[in-house]
Amino acid sequence: MTCFRTVIVILGLYTCFQETCGSVLGRPRLVGPLDALVRTVEDFHCSIQNNPVNESILYQIFRDENRSKVLGFYSALSGQVAVIPLYIIPSYEGYLVCVASIQNNTDVQPSVSPRHHLRVVGESWALWKSFGFFPPQRNVSAWKCPEISKGNYVSYHWLVDRKRLPQPSPYHHRNEELIIHRAVPQDSGAYSCVATNQLNATQTYISQSKPRNIMVKELVSEPELSFTMMREGTYFALVKCESLKGTPPITFSLYNGTELVDNETVDVRQFSFPITVDLERHMGWLQCQAENGDRVVHSKWVPMHVVPVGGAVWMHMDTSVGENFYIVGLRFYCSVERGTSPRYRWFLNGTALEDRGDFYWVEPQPKQSILLLSVGRESSGTYHCEVSNSFDNQTGIRSEKKYIDKEVLNQLPLTVKAVVFGCFLFLVSLVTTCCFIGCFYREHTFSLIVLHCSYSFYDNKVVGLGVC
């Protein structure tokens, strides 16, 4: 009886709520695109399933953060799906909700759908002329794309000479920046920046900057200083400054001590400065400087003191031994006592030898000249060298002459023969002496034995006979 009364009370309260307190709407469901392109129209669907209220329902779409501004609305009967078109603008980015309510009836409380996230994509079209460039600092070079005129959700990549940068590579991408650590001349090329964004993985929007030619310069290396003497009426020297590395143009400067002699900017890695020279006079210390950027490099100091060839000329040789200890090659060395720019010439039987021949090869060096010979019939003859100044036609200084012949070279020297023959005579004499001494000693011993036996026999001594 008590349970029956409880059920009657609950039914009464429910009927009172339906009539006086109002009806309850079901929770609506909002369906629409996840990505939308800006300035396009997209349809959003909002509906309530199993709605007990048989009245017209007003569906409204709001941004979840701001429910005071209606983005779109639609009225539909119970059970119908509301189709709400929205003109997409960038501010619609974020979470959207659908609010359902009964029109002209405040007794029924509105209901709110779960949140729906909308991603608004803007095209990445932009009018680019070029991109920013940051000068190299601490071996790091950086390029940056310009700001795009419109668009979001943009990704960037880089092209060099119309080809995408290889992977892996020394390049580092950071958003719209391209960073190169320790850039080298091989990194030079036409660079362009490409901006891309996508809509629903089906539509891709691409914008590319105009290519910009970037040249990565190789810093110039320390120059080498050398000079060549010449004579045209007066003596002068061509002082050459040369760097093995470096991207032209390069500025070379020649200094005599602290005084600048001359400088020149050229499109090659070397330059020669002409200066007047007085022979046998010390004209100072020269140095080359080279630069093609912010760094200046220097050569070693070189004294400018030109001394003519003079003094003695020395010539000596080494041998190369082959099988059976035969001499198969010779090396002649020629040097002069003094001279800044000597010129060496070799002669065979009074005829000058060129740099290379069938049986010889001349190897010039700063302080001497080497003549390499293959010993044979063609190379037999008398050799000597002559040294003169390389910058004039003055008479040279000659060395002593040396005769070379294959048979003579491979014959034993007279001294060796004398030593061998002397050793042989010594051995013969020694053996003869030993034999003579042996024979003499043997005859003397035999005579003593005979004499002793005779004496013992005469005295009739048994001991003596026993000894015999």
> Which CATH code, of 2.60.40.10, 3.10.20.30, 2.70.70.10, 2.40.110.10, is assigned to 310-409?
2.60.40.10
Q: How far is CA 56 from CA 44, 51, 391, in A?
A: 19, 11, 114
Phi first, then psi: give them for residue 450, nearest 5 degrees: -65, -45
Could you give the percent of the chain with pLDDT greater than 90? 36
CB atoms within 10 A of CB 343: 16
Q: Which residues, 6+ apart, have CB-to-CB distance to 463 below 8 Å?
A: 456
Kindly give the pairing relationship between strand 342-348 and strand 310-321. unpaired
Residue 465 pLDDT > 50, yes or no? no
Q: What's at 144, amino acid-wise? A: K
Domain edges within the chain: 23-121, 132-214, 224-305, 310-409, 438-468
Fold of 132-214: Immunoglobulin-like (2.60.40)
Q: Answer left, alpha or beta for residue 55, where phi above 0 means left and psi between -120 and 50 means alpha.
A: beta
Q: Give the range among 36-45, 210-219, 270-279 with minimum mean pLDDT.
A: 210-219
Same fold, 23-121 and 224-305: yes
Residue 461 pLDDT > 50, yes or no? no
Nearest to 383 by CA among 373, 393, 391, 396: 373
Question: Which 3 state secondary structure label does DSSP give 407?
Answer: helix
Q: Which residue would you say has higher pLDDT here, 374 or 410?
A: 374
Residue that has been written with the tokens 């470096």 in this structure? 246
Per-state percent for the chain, helix, strand, coil, to nearest 5: 20, 45, 35
Q: pTM for this one?
A: 0.53
Q: How many whole angstroms separate alpha carbon 46 and alpha carbon 76?
A: 10
Q: How many whole angstroms separate alpha carbon 66 and alpha carbon 300?
A: 77
Supply the pLDDT for residue 25.
77
Helix (H) or strand (E) holding 414: helix 414-458
Q: How many whole angstroms separate alpha carbon 370 and alpha carbon 251?
A: 38
Per-residue pLDDT, averaged over 452-459, amounts to 48
Could you give the percent of the chain with pLDDT greater than 70? 76
Per-residue pLDDT, averaged over 208-220, amounts to 82
Supply the pLDDT for residue 200.
66
Per-residue pLDDT, averaged over 62-68, amounts to 92
Supply the pLDDT for residue 102.
85
Tell me the CA end-to-end span of the chain in Å, nearest whole number.
175
Q: Cβ distance 321 to 372 under 8 Å?
A: no
Q: Cβ distance 289 to 252 under 8 Å?
A: yes
Burial class (CB in 10 A: 0-12, 13-18, 19+), 326: exposed
Question: Which 3 state secondary structure label does DSSP give 75?
Answer: strand
Model confidence pLDDT, tens digit, residues 421-438: 788 788 888 888 888 787
Task: Band the pLDDT of 15: cuts 50, 70, 90.
Answer: very low
Secondary structure letter of residue 81 according to DSSP: P
Helix (H) or strand (E) holding 180: strand 177-181
What's the mean per-residue pLDDT of the chain?
80
Per-residue pLDDT, averaged over 146-175, amounts to 71
Supply the pLDDT for residue 295.
83
Question: Which 3 state secondary structure label does DSSP give 465?
Answer: helix
Q: Which of 131-140, 174-183, 316-325, 375-384 has the highest mean pLDDT?
A: 375-384
Q: Cβ distance 222 to 243 under 8 Å?
A: yes
Q: Cβ distance 306 to 237 under 8 Å?
A: yes
Task: Assign domain 23-121 to a CATH class.
Answer: mainly beta
Residue that has been written with the tokens 């709605």 in this structure? 51
Residue 271 pLDDT > 80, yes or no? yes
CATH number of 224-305: 2.60.40.10
Q: How many whole angstroms separate alpha carbon 19 and alpha carbon 108?
A: 11
Residue 129 pLDDT > 70, yes or no? no
Q: How many whole angstroms separate alpha carbon 143 and alpha carbon 128?
A: 14
Q: Which residues, 6+ apart, have CB-to-CB distance to 362 below 8 Å?
A: 344, 346, 353, 354, 355, 356, 369, 370, 371, 372
Residue 170 pLDDT > 70, yes or no? no
Supply the pLDDT for residue 130.
43
Phi first, then psi: give them for residue 7, nearest 5 degrees: -65, -40
Secondary structure letter of residue 38 according to DSSP: T
Q: How many whole angstroms separate alpha carbon 193 and alpha carbon 154?
A: 12
The number of C-alpha atoms within 13 Å of 205 and in the hemisphere containing its C-beta is 18
Structure tokens given for 152: 């979001």
Helix (H) or strand (E) holding 381: strand 381-389
Task: Band the pLDDT of 52: cuts 50, 70, 90.
Answer: low
Cis peptide bond upstream of 308, omega within 30 = no
